[in-house]
Amino acid sequence: MGKKNDNTLVKNASFLMIAALISKIIGMLYKSPLSNTLGNSSMGLFNYAQNVYFILLMIASFSIPQAVSKIMAEKLAFKRYRDAQKVFHCALLYVAAMGGVVALFCFFGSSILVPESMSGARLALKMLAPTIFLSGILGTFRGYFQAYRNMLPTSLSQIVEQCFVAVFAILMSSVMLNRFSGAEESVRNAWGAAGATMGTGAGVASALLFMLFVYGVNKKTINKRLARDTNSRDEATGEVMKNIVLIVMPIILSSFIYNVNGFINSYMYSGIQGFKGIDHDTITSLYAEYGYYMTLINIPLTLASTAPTSMIPEVSAQYAKHDMDSARDKIDRATWISMFISIPCAVGLAVLAGPITRLLFPRTEGAAAQLMMLGVITIILNGNSNISNGVLQGIGKPNIPMINAAIALVVDVIAMAILLLVTDLGVYSIVIAMIIYAVVMCLLNERAMKKYMEYKNPWRSAYLNPLLASVPMAAVAGFSYYGIYKLIRSNFISLGIAVVLGMIAYFIVYLAVSKPSDEQFAMMPGGAYLKKIASKLPF
């Protein structure tokens, strides 16, 4: 049974990682033509509106898939199917109410949420209000299937969502720019950004329709399971709603505090830079560069977060059964999967930051690449803190990461204020503050993990081995890119060859350094092929 559960965890994490990778690649690729269509000023407004939307989404429903999957998984561990189904129905009521309130605030409170120096982003933010409401319902359906340890519907819905986002963002931004081609530049930029945000709404709506279809297909199986249930306690609706609120609110508040630093940093950047007399176009253009950086770095950040997403139901179930050894083993596996991907991504992005940003965002003026080289460490740090957050929430200690995030946020805000007021670092201050925040969060969560689970991070297997393999990978990728580029002067071809050679170097050195067991090979993406390759190597 233990081996079956381990395979389930790996399979679920793999599903989410592959889907997240495909989704983020689509998101990265469409941002390139979108930035060319909008221009830096309008793209900066679009990025700012998306940043505010992301924070509002957290308040409304962002962590609802994790919360629903956690509560349901604890009941499903004891085959209480009717009780789990009632949690699902009550969660839908909760997100409808909360999502509706936040959506109204998003629409009518845009002047409060967006500073005057970024006022052009207010229209785009209003366009995102209905999306907040739909996102909560979508998240509840995703949490439902995750509780049953079925990550495939969530994975496929993410890909569907991102495809619609890409198509409609480019289409509607072009429509709006053409419609307002004769208007003032500020008006045209505002409507261009607003058109781009319509893609987000189209993506969420399409993903929700897909999840409703999947739920409908499985309805007969669900009803049979409910009819055979003899273990449920048939809890009162009021009691279930109370339990949802008590568990969901700390998780959402923790996630909000954990991620609101990005919004606060951006708000402080635009406000203080405006106060210092920096002109509006410079502020928005540099913020667009920050947006390019975040688009790229969000790919490995998302991959790092998929492991704890798939892990929470597993850890919650084992913890509910008081099986601490199994719970710690799940955490080790999630950490290994996360770092196996995150560390080489961070090193590779640092080495090839310039070529990558120039290829995907031709309008960049170079700041995005510099931000990338400075900020890649956050990929590893956030991967670590995402897992520890998931663990602490999964074992019923959601207040701890919330308190830790609040402490880290205070440090972040202080650092951001000092950097903006005392130095001329400008947009670079946002990335430096992000690094400081992530370091504080990791240290505090690490202490809590040791206290409540007697857990120690698998530093050698999860962190050291990927890092050792990433060093020669970086050398191969860097030397091959610049060497080939000198010969053929093609950024695309040189970058493609460098990435492939770097990946080959990483896997070969990793196999030599870590000498994985058969069980570890089974956990790797493409592990069966890597095992065949390893059997032919002379070590």
Structure pTM? 0.73
CA distance 40 to 365: 10
Give residue 247's pLDDT.
74
CB atoms within 10 A of CB 153: 23
Q: Spell out the residues 6+ positions from residue 218 whose beta carbon is closer than 8 angstroms to its own.
A: none
Q: Are 387 and 336 in contact (CB under 8 A)?
A: no
- 92: burial class by Cβ within 10 Å (0-12, 13-18, 19+)? middle
**The pair of three-digit structure tokens given for residue 234, joined into one six-digit string:** 């048939």
Q: Which residue has the tokens 């959506």?
A: 103
Q: Which residue has the tokens 């890597």?
A: 530
Q: In which element (H, E) is residue 351 found?
A: helix 324-351
CA distance 295 to 285: 15
Q: Which residue has the tokens 């969060």?
A: 441
Q: Are 140 and 65 in contact (CB under 8 A)?
A: yes
**The pair of three-digit structure tokens given for residue 512, joined into one six-digit string:** 């030599």
CB atoms within 10 A of CB 9: 23
CA distance 281 to 245: 44
Q: Spell out the residues 6+ positions from residue 520 whose beta carbon is closer than 8 angstroms to its own.
A: 336, 514, 527
The counts of H helices and E strands in the chain are: 21, 0
Give residue 524's pLDDT.
65
CA distance 400 to 444: 9
Q: DSSP strand E in 339-413: where?
A: none
**The pair of three-digit structure tokens given for residue 60, joined into one six-digit string:** 């409304």
Rounded to 10 degrees, what is the CA torsion of 464, 469, 474, 476?
A: 170
Three-state secondary structure readout of 435-498 = HHHHHHHHHHHHHHHHHHHCCCCCHHHHHHHHHHHHHHHHHHHHHHHHHHHHHHCCHHHHHHHH
Residues recorded for the chain: 539
Report which DSSP code applies to 62.
I
**The pair of three-digit structure tokens given for residue 93, joined into one six-digit string:** 């009521």
Q: Are 297 and 349 in contact (CB under 8 A)?
A: yes
Instruction: Give the Å distances, CA to CA, from 18 to 24, 189, 306, 487.
Output: 10, 35, 10, 35
CA distance 152 to 495: 32
Spatial CA neighbour of 369 closest among 357, 360, 377, 387: 357
Q: Are 530 and 524 in contact (CB under 8 A)?
A: yes
CA distance 454 to 450: 4
**The pair of three-digit structure tokens given for residue 163, joined into one six-digit string:** 């495809």
pLDDT (tens place) for every residue of the chain, 539 residues total: 444 454 555 555 555 666 666 776 777 778 888 888 888 888 889 988 988 898 888 888 767 777 788 788 888 888 888 888 888 999 999 999 999 999 999 999 998 888 887 888 999 999 999 999 999 999 999 888 888 877 788 888 888 999 999 999 999 999 999 999 888 888 999 999 999 999 999 999 999 999 999 999 988 888 888 888 888 888 888 888 887 787 777 767 767 777 788 888 888 998 898 888 888 778 888 888 988 898 888 878 776 666 555 666 667 677 767 777 777 787 887 788 788 888 999 999 999 999 999 988 888 888 999 999 999 999 999 888 888 887 887 777 878 888 898 999 999 999 999 999 999 898 999 999 999 999 999 999 999 988 888 788 888 888 999 999 999 999 999 999 999 999 998 999 999 999 999 999 998 898 888 877 776 676 666 666 777 777 777 66
Amino acid identity, position 34 = L
Give residue 309's pLDDT.
58
Q: Spell out the residues 6+ positions from residue 531 whose beta carbon is closer than 8 angstroms to its own.
A: 518, 521
Q: Are 350 and 471 in contact (CB under 8 A)?
A: no
Report which DSSP code applies to 120.
G
Give the DSSP letter string of 160-225: HHHHHHHHHHHHHHHHHHHHTTTS-HHHHHHHHHHHHHHHHHHHHHHHHHHHHHHHHHTHHHHHHH
